[in-house]
């Protein structure tokens, strides 16, 4: 078994520490107040800043970047941080945009390995995402999640879902993966311009997915701090109150800015 320390910095940004490794997901460190364009006439304002500034994060071995083209997953300060990172794992199109020899691009189903002396190797497999309604991928762009496996895991892989709606390929992947711990991107993202269309999972989707895979621990992320999030912590908490405790007890709220240990 491995004890992993998760520090939620805000939005999708989490520092993951174990066995000498320090990994960072989707770095977002800009201050609040600015509006960002998301393409095709959509935009959103950042409402809250990070719980920790980038200078307080310390050294990072690798960044796991689900996608580079939306500022709620990679903002200006996060992009600047990438220049000091030895390894960035992201989408194939993101790797082309970011450039450089330190960036590894993966499509869903492809894997890459992190290795370092005296540490367990980590296999990173990209998992599928659809960041919007059917046929939206040419507009919303390429996104992936990440499944992490390493020797000594007791409860199954660690899965970072990435920004996605709940759809058939995601269900199939989750059922095959059977993750023990999930960093679950939520928020029920919507934009006024596109009406009822959603771009990330809702609280109901979270419960539906977890009913299929029965993970040991589910940590919601990517649900607060921006105008385009439609479902925050209160909504998910209200949904959990309506389901049996056995289904709801897996959900763990990571405190912002403070490391939280979880056995993986």
CA distance 134 to 182: 24
Q: If you average pLDDT over residues 199-220, what whole number do you get?
A: 94
Return mean pLDDT, the chain.
95
pLDDT given for residue 221 in this prediction? 98
**C-alpha to C-alpha distances, 76 to 7, 28, 54, 73, 194, nearest whole angstrom:** 21, 8, 12, 10, 26
Looking at residue 63, what is its pLDDT? 98
pLDDT band with cut points at 50, 70 and 90 for residue 243: confident
**In terms of Cα–Cα distance, which of 50, 41, 16 is closest to 182?**
16
**In contact, 90 and 74? CB cutoff 8 Å:** no
DSSP letter assigned to residue 12: T
pLDDT digits (tens, 9 = 90+) for 46-65: 999 999 999 999 999 999 99
Buried b (16+ CB within 10 A) or exposed e, 148-164: bbbeebebbbbbbbbbb
Rounded to 5, what percent of the chain is helix, strand, coil?
Answer: 20, 30, 50
* Residue 186, pLDDT above cutoff 90: yes
Q: Which structure tokens are listed for 213?
A: 């895979």
What pLDDT, on the 0 to 100 scale, is given for residue 30?
Answer: 98
Q: State the pTM of this model.
A: 0.97
Q: Would you say residue 247 has pLDDT above 80?
A: no
The per-residue pLDDT for range 59-109, each reduced to its tens digit, is: 999 999 999 999 999 999 999 999 999 999 999 999 999 998 899 999 999
Instruction: Give yes or no for residue 36 having a pLDDT over 70.
Output: yes
Provide the domain limits for residue 189. Answer: 3-263
Rounded to whole angstroms, how far apart are CA atoms 239 and 256? Answer: 22
Report the pLDDT value the prediction gives residue 245, as an integer from 0 to 100.
64
Question: What pLDDT was estimated at residue 127?
Answer: 98
Domain total in the chain: 1
CA separation for the pair 184, 187 (Å, rounded): 10
Contact 98, 82 (CB under 8 A): yes
Phi (first) and psi of residue 247, to 5 degrees? -75, -35
- Which tokens is 256 given? 């912002």
Query: What is the predicted pLDDT for the residue at 120?
Result: 97
The answer to whether residue 210 scores a pLDDT higher than 80 is yes
- Is residue 147 scored above 70 in pLDDT? yes
Place of tokens 């771009």: 199
Q: Is the Cα torsion angle 5, 223, 28, 179 positive or negative in sign?
A: positive
What's the rounded Cα separation, in Å, for the pair 78 and 128?
23
Identify the CATH number of the domain in which residue 23 sits: 3.60.15.10
> pLDDT grade, residue 41 (50/70/90)?
confident
Confidence of residue 246 (pLDDT cuts 50, 70, 90): low
What is the pLDDT at residue 31? 97
């Amino acid at each position: 078994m491995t004890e992993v320390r998760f520090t939620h910095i805000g939005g999708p940004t989490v520092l993951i520490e174990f066995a000498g490794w320090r990994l960072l997901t989707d770095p977002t460190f800009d201050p609040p107040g600015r509006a960002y364009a998301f393409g095709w006439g959509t935009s959103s304002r950042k409402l809250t800043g990070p719980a920790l500034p980038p200078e307080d994060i310390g050294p990072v071995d690798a960044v796991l970047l689900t996608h580079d083209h939306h500022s709620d997953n990679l903002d200006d300060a996060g992009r600047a941080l990438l220049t000091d990172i030895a390894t960035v794992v992201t989408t194939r199109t993101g790797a082309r945009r970011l450039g450089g020899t330190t960036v590894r691009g993966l499509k869903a189903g492809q894997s890459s390995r992190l290795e370092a002396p005296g540490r367990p190797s980590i296999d990173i497999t990209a998992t599928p995402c659809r960041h919007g309604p059917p046929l939206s991928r040419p507009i919303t762009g390429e996104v992936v999640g990440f499944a992490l496996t390493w020797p000594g895991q007791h409860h199954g892989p660690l899965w970072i879902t990435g920004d996605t709606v709940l759809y058939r390929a995601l269900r199939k992947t989750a059922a095959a993966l059977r993750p023990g711990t999930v960093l679950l991107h939520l928020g029920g993202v919507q934009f006024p311009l596109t009406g009822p269309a959603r771009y990330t999972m809702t609280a109901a989707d979270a419960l539906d997915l977890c009913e299929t895979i029965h993970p040991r621990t589910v940590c919601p992320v990517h649900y607060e701090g921006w105008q385009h999030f439609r479902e925050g912590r209160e909504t998910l908490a209200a949904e959990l109150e309506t389901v049996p405790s056995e289904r709801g007890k897996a959900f763990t709220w990571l405190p912002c800015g403070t490391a939280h240990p979880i056995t993986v």
